[in-house]
Structure 1
Amino acid sequence: QVDNVSHKDITWEQRKLIELTSVFTDGDWIEAKDQSDSGIRLVQTGNVGTTEYLDKINNAKWISEDTFQTLKCKEIYEGDILISRLPEPAGRACIMPNLGTKMITAVDCTIVRTNENNDSKFLVQYLSTPSYFKIVNTFLGGGTRQRISRNNLAEIIVPTPCNIAEQAKIGAYFSQLDHLITLHQREF
């Protein structure tokens, strides 16, 4: 039971994931020969946890500025959402922190930048729900390496408060809850 909160004035709508974004594209195809010892950080699917970025600095991959220019890579920014299209689980998403360097991501990650009417923390919280993962699992395809296509991801319906301030409150609340759960788990 929630006290002193009126929910009857909050309108929700069903929107396709792609309708909530200003950027919705895949990362870059980077082969081993394209990698270097330093330069621009290559964020991989293994760095994408469910609602959290997993640094794994000992396994960090890089490309040079020249390779970035030659391959016309798409730079990702602090606050962008990365969605891993590969298991485990497919569809997991996190918000990119500032790593103190230019960043790109691999082809099996979808880069999502919410538009001005949508809150990224709210969206990432939705992208961690059991109902969302159930939908993702219905789309998994592709031989030995199961994945969800970017086109199928784009079509997933997201129940969204029309008011961005309401989205921000919900996103912040569940982000804080995630943080507290993580701290509690580390105690044991």
Structure 2
Amino acid sequence: MAKIDDSVKKKVPELRFKGFTDDWEERKLIEVADYRNGKAHEKDISEAGDYIVVNSKFVSTNGLVKKYSDEMIAPLSKNEIAFVLSDVPNGRAIARTFLISEENKYSLNQRIAGITPHADTNSYFLHSLMNRNHYFLRFDDGVSQTNLSKKEVEKWVELYPSYGEQQKIGSFFKQLDDTIALHQRKLDLLKEQKKGYLQKMFPKNGEKVPELRFAGFADDWEERKLGDLSQDTIGGGTPKTSVTEFWNG
């Protein structure tokens, strides 16, 4: 008989921080956090608004795409979680989470749920656990618009460790996410830098030299056809069905 792994017999993960040995406990979301729905903001959208509207686009871009409101219609507090309930077919926003980091700044839009972790639930742990969780993604059939209900979200069941272990795990993933965000900003800057160089290091229409050049080069660039620079230009094609090497494995 095959040996049953301890992590199967006991409700624990394969990898843990030192000092934690207790089983994780199965709980519904309603047992670890409170749920509420957002409110419509369409009539209060303003380019000069003081408050950021937390909608699906904002959450799915991790806060990069913003809309503003003149009114704080549905306040979100620090350490609350915004959770996307509705998404178009094949969308990537459904079940995404955004952890609120500041007070008096964010207002919860309709079709976004506000999740308030209980005192014995670490917000970053729950944010990481809920984000695109496979349970919620099951409701997206890729054909019709997905709309998660309050009931479906509240009855979501997962395993939870002690609060101390949640804190350890939450801090660990926060550090990883912060590092990823830092490298993402560096990558974005490099992409913008490359874009600028592409514009300046190739001649503009009607010109024969670029705006920016390496030292030691002063000659005009010459106009040539692609055929002058390559020996052959070929296109792809579909193999004949008689060639079994392409069709049978």
CA change 1:118–1:62 in 2 (3 A) is same
Q: Who is 1:94 aligned against?
A: 98
| 1:107 alignment partner, one of 106, 110, 113 | 110
Q: Is the 8 A contact 2:51 2:107 kept in 1?
A: yes
The CA distance in 1 between the partners of 2:179 and 2:18, in whole Å, is 23
Report the Cα offset of residue 104 of structure 1.
1.6
Q: Secondary structure at the match of 1:48?
A: helix
**Is residue 35 of structure 2 the alignment partner of residue 24 of structure 1?**
yes
Structure with bigger gyration radius: 2
Q: What is aligned with 2:58?
A: 47
Question: What code does the residue aligned with 2:38 have?
Answer: G
Q: Is the 8 A contact 2:139 2:146 kept in 1?
A: no
d(CA) in 1 for partners of 2:41, 2:141:
22
Output one character per residue of 1:65-116: Cα deviation in whole Å (capped at 9) or x when no partner.
xxx5xxxx43211211100113414111121122x74432111110011011
Could you say which residue in structure 1 is the equivalent of 2:22? Answer: 10
Structure 1 position 149 matched with structure 2 position 149: yes
Query: Higher mean Cα deviation, 141-150 or 104-113?
Result: 141-150
Alpha carbons of structure 1 residues 143 and 105: separation in structure 2 relative to 1, 3 Å: farther
Q: Which runs of 4+ in 1 moved over 6 A?
A: 1-4
Q: Which amino acid aligns with 2:63?
A: L
Q: CA RMSD in A?
A: 2.8
Q: Distance in 2 between matches of 1:35 and 1:151?
A: 30
Answer yes or no: is the 8 Å Cα contact 2:49–2:70 preserved in 1: yes
Give the aligned residue type for 2:56.
T
In 2: Cα distance, 1:75 partner to 1:107 partner: 12
Q: TM-score, normalised by structure 1?
A: 0.76
Deviates more, 1:83-92 or 1:152-161: 83-92
Q: Is the 8 Å Cα contact of residues 41 and 101 (structure 1) preserved in structure 2?
A: no
Distance 2:59 2:168 in 1: 24
**Structure 1 unaligned regions, length at least 5:** none
Query: Would the aligned equivalents of 2:50 and 2:68 in 1 still touch at CA under 8 Å?
Result: no
Give 1:3 shift: 9.4
The corresponding residue for 1:35 is: 45
Name the structure, 1 or 2, with higher relative contact order (CA <8 Å, separation 6+): 1
TM-score (norm 2): 0.59
Structure 2: runs of 5 or more not aligned? 1-13, 188-249
Structure having the larger proportion of residues in strand: 1
Q: Alpha-carbon deviation of 1:4? A: 8.2
Work out the percentage of aligned pairs sharing the same amino acid: 22
